[in-house]
Amino acid sequence: MKAAPIARLSLRQQVYSWVLRMLLEGRWPELARLNDSALASELGVSRTPIREALIQLETEGLLAGDPNRGFYIPSLTRKEAQEIYPILWSLEQLAVFLAAGSAQELRKCLEHAASRTSPASDLVAALKQDRAWHAALVESSGNQRLTELTRRTEAITRRYASALLRDSTVAERRAREHSQIAEALANEQPARAFALLKMHWRAEMEEVLQALEERGAKPPAPGPGDKPAASKRSRAAIAGNS
């Protein structure tokens, strides 16, 4: 049997992945300006793939653009959170409806995703683990367009979760609710799985809204001279993927 070809990421895709990862891990504060020249120097690439990545991220709603300021990190707002989370849980409900294969196969897939546990105290790793579980759920639909649309929507919610949810008990709640959803799917109870998915994401949305309320005033805008710091490690990360 012929082996499937190994996907090779283009330079543009590598740069996009790096900027996305830094953004979701909170490297830049809200309203920080992203200087394409500084990023190009940091990664050891030309400005072209940097600008392409920034334009794509703006299209996906993860960056904002202004003719005078260029690209910058948008503020986290109650309005966006209230709009984006219902879209996400609706997309996942659709994925469950379309899921191919038996209920037991789906449960095995979700249990495998849940087995890659991270310490609850490692909030970045725990959030990544949580989102990997949801990605496995959506991919089970076999619908590539739905998977991509959900990925882009989820990335926006991850900005909120990574910036605002700093309590280790959140990871414990997520894992417990994952098990409940998987059990409902294995028992062929789609209506219960739909309800649990909505409750799962609504709980995170409420936690995010509460954190936004407690945070109060928005942080001040950075000065026009603010630039990301250069890093040899960043250049190595791109070179290692080539």
- 121-160, pLDDT tens digit by residue? 577 788 888 899 999 999 989 999 999 999 999 999 999 9
* Residue 197 burial class via C-beta count within 10 angstroms: exposed 0-12, middle 13-18, buried 19 and up: buried
User: How far is it, in rounded angstroms, from Cα 98 to Cα 95?
Assistant: 5
What is the predicted pLDDT for the residue at 15? Answer: 93
Give the CA dihedral 23, 62, 73, 46, nearest 10 degrees: 70
Which domains does the chain possess? 11-74 (1.10.10.10), 78-215 (1.20.120.530)
206: which residues sit within 8 A by CB, 6+ positions away? none
Compute the average pLDDT of residues 87-105: 84
129 contacts 88 by C-beta, under 8 angstroms: no
| Termini Cα distance of the chain | 28
On whether the pTM is more than 0.85, the answer is: no
